[in-house]
Amino acid sequence: MSHTEHRASAPDHIRCYVITVSDTRTEATDTGGKLLRELLIKEGHRIVGHTIVRDEPAVLRTAIEHQLTASNVQVIITTGGTGISRRDGSYEVVTELLEKSLDGFGELFRSLSFTEIGPSAMLSRACAGTAQGKILFSLPGSKNAVRLALTELILPELGHLVREVTR
């Protein structure tokens, strides 16, 4: 089958869980997480839950592992903690959980980011892959990064990704 045929046979409505990783964000100030949820819903996907967790590896790992075992979750998207500061640990946690890495996601995201923000794009450690039959994305926390990742990369392929990981 071609990628076009794969997309045509992919599910239209995906069940997603969103995790914001931040030491400072609250429900009121989590603009990246809110935008992420809004964009997914606008495309017909379902948010089965969301949470904000501290940028602590053990806390994030527990939050992701809980969703990996949840039967109603197909995709987990984290936002925040992908930089290179001492407190940024999302990349390490997510990559340790991945069974198969989607290296092209991070490469494409940084390439698209470069056209918007220049060489600062290299500081992003956005990544994606599969774990326990689910898709896992790790995005930066800014609204612009969330919008770019979702509109240009994730939303066009989300059903196709779920189709492939569940075959």
pLDDT in tens, 12-54: 899 999 999 999 999 999 999 999 999 999 999 999 999 999 9
Which residue range(s) make up the domain with 29? 3-165
Q: How many domains does the chain have?
A: 1
How does pLDDT run across 74-116, given as a tens digit for each residue? 999 999 999 999 999 999 999 999 999 999 999 999 999 999 9
Residues 6+ apart with CB under 8 A from 156: none
**pLDDT above 70 for 4:** yes
CATH number reported for the structural domain that contains residue 139 in this entry: 3.40.980.10
pLDDT digits (tens, 9 = 90+) for 112-155: 999 999 999 999 999 999 999 999 999 999 999 999 999 999 99
| pLDDT value of residue 1 | 67
Q: What does the pLDDT read at residue 11?
A: 85
pLDDT reported for residue 9 = 76
Mean pLDDT of 50-71: 97
Q: Which of 93, 74, 72, 73 is nearest to 82 (CA)?
A: 93
pLDDT at site 10: 80
Residues 6+ apart with CB under 8 A from 166: 74, 133
Cα separation, 67 vs 75, whole angstroms: 9
Phi-psi region of 118 (alpha: psi -120 to 50; beta: other; left: phi over 0): left
